[in-house]
Structure 1
Amino acid sequence: MPIHFADIATVLSGSAVGFILALVGGGGSILAVPLLVYGVGVASPHVAIGTSAIAVAISALANVMAHWRAGNVRWPCAIVFSLAGIAGAFAGAGVAKQLDGEKLLILFGLLMIVIGALMLKKRAGRGDPAIRLTATTARQLMPMLVGTGFAVGLLAGFFGIGGGFLIVPGLMLATGMPLITAIGTSLVAVVAFGASTAASYAMSGLIDWQLAGLFIAGGLLGGLAGIVTGRLIGSQDKALRSAFAGIVILAGGYVCLRGALPLL
C-alpha cells in the first residue's frame, strides 16, 4: 500500500501534539484541529474536530493511570464533574455541527488566543490537598462541580478539544483542590469530554478513522519523545511553557485570519 504525503503529515502532526502534551503538561490538543486542517489538509473543519476529539481522549487515557498511581485523582469529584461535562459536551458538539465551518474556525482561533494568554498567567499550586467529595461536603461541592463541569464540557464539545486548560482551573475553582491534584483529576474529564464529543461526531459520520489512527500513533511516539526531553531540560519547563503559549497565540491569530478571508 503506497504511503501518501497526508499520512506522513498526520503522523508528524500527531507527534507534535503528543510531544507538547508530554513536555508542558497539557495544551497540545488545542493545536490538533489547526494541524489537521492546515497541515494535513482536511477539507472539513467538522471532520478535523471529530477526528481530533477521539485522538485527544485516547492520549489522555494513556496519562490517567500514571496520575492515579501517584494519588492525584479524586475520583468522586472527577465522576461528578465528568458526567455534567458529558451533557455539556454533547450540547456543544450539537451546536457546533450546525455552524458554518469557516465561522467555527474563527471562534476556535479566538479560543486559542484566550487559552494562550491564560497559559502565560502564573498558576498557584496552593489548595487543600485533603479535599474530598463526601456526604458532608456534597452540599457545598456538588453545585459547583455540576455547574462548572457543564460549562467546561460545553466549550470542549463545541470546539472538539480535551479542555485540559479549562478543566484544571475549573476544578480548582469548584473544589479548592491544589494544582497537581486538579491536573490528575482533570484527565478523567478530558477522556470523558473527548469521547462524548467524538461519539457525537461519529454518529454524524464526521470522523476519519484512518486519519485518527495515524494521528494517535504519532501522538504516542511524540509523547515518548516529550517525556525524555522533559527529563533533560528539567528546570527550563517554565520558559518552555511561556514559549508554547506564544505559539498558541500566534497560531490562533493565523486561524482567525484564514477563517475570516473567505468571508471578506
Structure 2
Amino acid sequence: MDIVTILAAILSGGAIGLILGLVGGGGSILAVPLLVYVVGVGSAHAAIGTAAVAVAGNAVASLIGHARAGRVKWRCAGVFAVAGMIGAALGAELGKAVDGKRLLVLFGLLMIGVGLSMLRRRRAAEAPDVQLTRDSAAVLLPRLVPIGLGVGGAAGFFGIGGGFLIVPGLILATAMPLSYAIGTSLVVVSALGLTTATSYALSGLVDWGVTALLMAGGVGGTIAGMALGKLLGGRKARLERGFAVIVIAVGGYVVASSGIGLPGVN
C-alpha cells in the first residue's frame, strides 16, 4: 500500500467521522463512494465489505458515550437489531450476487433518495419515557420488527450502517425523541455492520489494511466533528441540509460515472 492510498484512507475515515460528529449520523453512506473513487478500491463488493467493518467499529466506539449518558433504549434496540440482522444477512447475500457496476448505480440512486428525504421537514415526535414492556409489546413489536427487517435488508445489500434509515425508523415505531433514537440506533448499526461485515469477510471481500486506516481516521474526525458541532450550536438544521445536498450530489456522480444504464435498461 503506497503513501497516497494510506493518506486517502485516513482522510476518508476522517471525513466520515467528521460528518457523524456534526450531524449525528449519515456519514457511513459516503464510505463506499470514498473507498471506490478516493481510496481506489477496485471492487464495489470489496468496498462494501470494507466499509461495513469500519462502520461497525466506529458505531461501537460512539455507542459507549451515548450509553453512559443514558440515551439508549436497550429493549427497543434489541428487537430492532435482531430483525435487522436477519434482513442484513439476506441483503448481503443478495448484494454479492449483483454485478458490481449495477450495485453502484443502485447505491447512487439510494443516496439521491435519502438526500431528498433529509431535505423534508420532519415533525419531532416526543415520547422520552417509551419502553418495550409486556403492556406495550402489542403496539411496539408490530412496528419494530417489519421496519427492522426492511432497514436491515437495505443495510446488508449496500454495506452501510443505515443510521440515516434506523433513526427515523425508530422514531416512527416508538415516537422516541431524536437524541434517544440516535443513541439507540448505534446498537443497531453495530449489529447490522457486524452481520454484513461477517458475510463479506467470509467471502474474502474485506481489505483489512484499509479498514484499520478508515477507523483510525474516523476516531479523529468524530472528535473534531463533535467539537465543531458544539461551536455551531443552533446551526445543526443548516448542517443537515448541507449534508443532504452533498449526499444527492455524490449519488448523482456515482450514477453518472458508473458507465452503465439503470438496472433493466440497456
Per the normalisation by structure 2, the TM-score is 0.95
Secondary structure at 1:218's aligned position in 2?
helix
Deviation at 1:4, TM superposition (A): 2.2
Match of 2:145 in 1: 146
Q: What is the SS of the residue equivalent to 1:259?
A: coil
Please give the secondary structure, in 2, of the residue aligned with 1:136.
Answer: coil
TM-score of the superposed pair, with normalisation by structure 1: 0.96
| Counterpart in the other structure of 2:219 | 220
Which residue is 1:122 aligned to? 121
Whether the 8 Å contact between 1:103 and 1:260 is mirrored in structure 2 is no
What does residue 98 of structure 2 align with? 99
8 A Cα contact 2:102 2:260, kept in partner: no
Alignment of 1:132-211 (within 5 A): 132-211=131-210
Q: Distance in 2 between matches of 1:136 and 1:81?
A: 18
Residues 130-173 of structure 1: per-residue CA shift (max 9 Å, x gap): 11111111122112211111111000000000001110111111
Change in CA separation of 1:109 and 1:124 when aligned onto 2, cut-off 3 Å:
same
Shift of 1:126: 2.4
Structure-to-structure mapping, 1:80-91, within 5 angstroms: 80-91=79-90
Is the Cα–Cα contact under 8 Å of residues 78 and 188 in structure 1 kept in the other structure? yes
Partners of 1:108 and 1:225 lie apart in 2 by 28
Q: Output the CA distance in 2 between the equivalents of 1:259 and 1:244.
A: 22
Where does residue 112 of structure 1 map in the other structure? 111
Instruction: For 1:6 and 1:120, locate their aligned partners in 2 and report how far apart those are by CA, in whole Å.
Output: 34
Residue correspondences, number: 263
* Partner residue, 1:19: 18
- Residue type at the aligned position of 2:139: Q
Q: Spell out, residue by residue over 1:76-111, the C-alpha distance to the aligned partner (whole angstroms, 9 max, x if none).
A: 110011001000000000000000000000000001
Given residue 112 of structure 2, which amino acid in structure 1 is its aligned partner?
I
Structure 2: where are the runs of 5+ without partners? none
Is the CA contact (8 Å cut-off) linking 2:101 and 2:260 kept in structure 1? no
Q: 1:214 is matched by which residue type in structure 2?
A: L
Amino acid at match of 2:232: I
CA shift in 2, pair 1:43/1:3, >3 Å: closer
Q: CA RMSD in A?
A: 1.4
Q: Please list every run of 5 or more consecutive structure 1 residues that lacks an aligned counterpart in the other structure.
A: none
CA distance in 1, matches of 2:95, 2:167: 23
